Amino acid sequence: MLTFKNTNIALIVLLALTIAADKMHGVSWLVYVAVILVYSLIVAYGCYFVNSNFFMPIYCSAKITEKVISITFDDGPVADGTPELLQILKNANVEAAFFCIGNRIAGNEEIIKQLDTEGHIIGNHSFTHAALFDMYPAKKMLAEMRQTDSALYPVTGKKPRLFRPPYGVMNPNLKNAIVEGNYLPIGWNVRSYDTMSKDADQLFNKVSAKIKPGAIFLFHDTCKNTVAILPRFIEFAKSKGYKIIRVDKMLGLPAYA
């Protein structure tokens, strides 16, 4: 399997061979550029595709044949979105996972309490979800993750184990922060791209076509089209014989420390 470790080993070997060939026969500088370019493209692939497991194993689906799926939401809690989703889930008797941004907890404590009391799990999604989060050193990343835990604990009395990387981007620094903080990284294998959706029907058709055993669906509290299609999506999944359960239950993982 392609990983950061074996990619680095391959780079070292290729550079060593290139240097040796350069000393013996002469090699164009373009060869060096090509080696570095290929390496950079592979690393970029590993960073962007969360299910590549390039830097570390990430739970992106359940390897099962049973008709079970999980629904997850990112970027909440938000007063204009999360309550609507909670009502839909309650009406359908479905439990989900909400990966919350820490700085959105203050002022939305009642929503957090409702998430907890109604059987949903709360995961960590960093404190700021900053645009440059992926560029932070591991120490600063971990500080944000722990800051979110500290904001959640007074409200729920629980500390999340499940962590979802902001933007779904992984890198060596984030891996180190996750390992040191003893978190469990959760990805997805169906990304709805609801934040880019312009049409609710198109969004529904897209995600409903990707229902399969063990799938983890990624939605966002902040998207109106997600609120619009969620009842229909749940009904459709159930009509196909699927059960919708919490991601921690489907993966057999502890949700809290």
Mind telling me the catalytic residues?
74, 220
Q: Can you tell me the distance from the alpha carbon of 41 to that of 102, in angstroms, rounded to the nearest whole number?
A: 32
Would you give the end-to-end CA distance of the chain in angstroms?
A: 31
Q: Do 134 and 110 meet the contact criterion of CB atoms below 8 Å apart? A: no
State the DSSP code for 108.
Answer: -
Contact predicate 243/96, CB 8 Å: no
Q: Which of 66, 92, 107 is nearest to 231 (CA)?
A: 92
The alpha carbons of the chain give a radius of gyration, in whole angstroms, of 21
Of 119, 169, 124, which Cα lies nearest the Cα of 143? 124
**HSE of 221, CA atoms in CB hemisphere, 13 A:** 26
Cα torsion for 111, 113, 114, 116, to the nearest 10°?
A: 130
